[in-house]
Amino acid sequence: MLDGGDANDGKGAMRAVVMDQLGGPEVLSVADVASPVRVNAEFLVKVVAAGVNPIDAKTRAGRGVSAAIDHFPAVLGNDFSGIVVEAPYEAHPYQPGTEVYGMTTVPRVGGTYAEYVAVSSLSLTRKPTTLSHVEAAAVPLAALTAWGMVVEVAKAHEGQRMLIHAASGGVGHFAVQFARYFGAHVIATGSTAKVAWLRELGANRTIDYTATRFEDEVGDLDVVIDLVGNVHDETGRRSLRTLRPGGLIVNAPTGSWPGFATEVAEAGLRGTTYKVAPDGATLAVISRLLQSGDVRVYVDRVFDLADAAAAHTAIEQGHTRGKIVLKVSDG
């Protein structure tokens, strides 16, 4: 096992959750694998906690980004929070011992369901001191996705009317907060048990999708942030009826809406999908909002690394409030 102060010669072993094939949660198991080798402007980070995201479960099941997996066993996981073991060079401001967080690009690189990860210096930033490692690991992929959709694409601003679906999930609970922070009028959909919490996050109006058809309640909207697509009750297609002429719909879940572009164009609307980038500079901006308390992260459940299969089962059930996190090691 690597020691926190030792150089990484690529010969050490580490504990990781691996999958030997695609399939259900049962294909995940703990094994010893080769530790990552840091090269060029990469950091070697000891992972304390790793976020679990829907894309992880989709990839494990043979969807998501599984087509890019070029070997087994494979290690999943994009989000991490941990401690620098090796810096790219001696004068870098993040030296060994610095607490950092960020995201990787699995499966192009090794995943974060592991004790160590090698990560580009462009894809991490200093961990907010107000967050624990578990809380920080819940942030990067979800918050960067929400920021990209709400701030960069939809350009949230005063007077804008924005509908956010799946608002209580990992991406959704950040999307609500970012949209409200920049002044948009936020309408959030959620289940009965979550609508009160969504109002606490800043939603101006909530719609209980289990009791009400949202398209019967709202219209003439500027933007729809679609975190569902057509995988449940044609949520994406029904959303088109709520937009004003020329309104914008932004869809994120991979493969959730075949024919998206055609249907949006035929409705006389604007639309785009969205794919997140592991941008440490943007994450640093988000960090300031977390540090100040203007934005909060909510961790629903924490699992030990050995219980990754149970974490995947939980996230596939689709009732998570905020994020699910794996505790990998002691900080």
HSE at residue 84, side-chain half, CA atoms within 13 A, is: 22
Q: Considering the chain, what is the average pLDDT of its residues?
A: 95
Phi-psi region of 234 (alpha: psi -120 to 50; beta: other; left: phi over 0): left
The band of 319, judged by pLDDT with boundaries at 50, 70 and 90, is: confident
N-to-C CA span, the chain:
16
* CA–CA dist 80, 137 (Å, integer): 5
> Which structural domains are found in the chain, ordered by start?
13-139+297-327 (3.90.180.10), 141-273 (3.40.50.720)
With helix as H, strand as E and coil as C, how does 102-139 read? EECCCCCCCCCCECEEEEEHHHEEECCCCCCHHHHHCC
Check: CB of residue 201 under 8 Å from CB of residue 173.
yes
Per-residue pLDDT, 232 = 87
Residue 150 has pLDDT above 90, yes or no: yes
Q: Higher confidence at residue 14 or residue 318?
A: 14
Q: What whole-number distance in Å separates Cα of residue 17 and Cα of residue 197?
A: 33
What integer is the mean pLDDT of 171-200? 97
**pLDDT band per the 50, 70, 90 thresholds, residue 1:** very low
Band of residue 6 on the pLDDT scale cut at 50, 70, 90: very low
Q: What is the pLDDT of residue 11?
A: 53
Tokens of 64: 């998501």
Band the pLDDT of 62: cuts 50, 70, 90.
Answer: very high
pLDDT band at 154 (very low <50, low <70, confident <90, very high): very high
227-279 per-position pLDDT tens digit: 999 998 999 999 999 999 999 999 999 899 999 999 999 999 999 999 999 99
Tens digits of per-residue pLDDT, 267-293? Answer: 999 999 999 999 999 999 999 999 999
> Is pLDDT above 50 for 8?
no
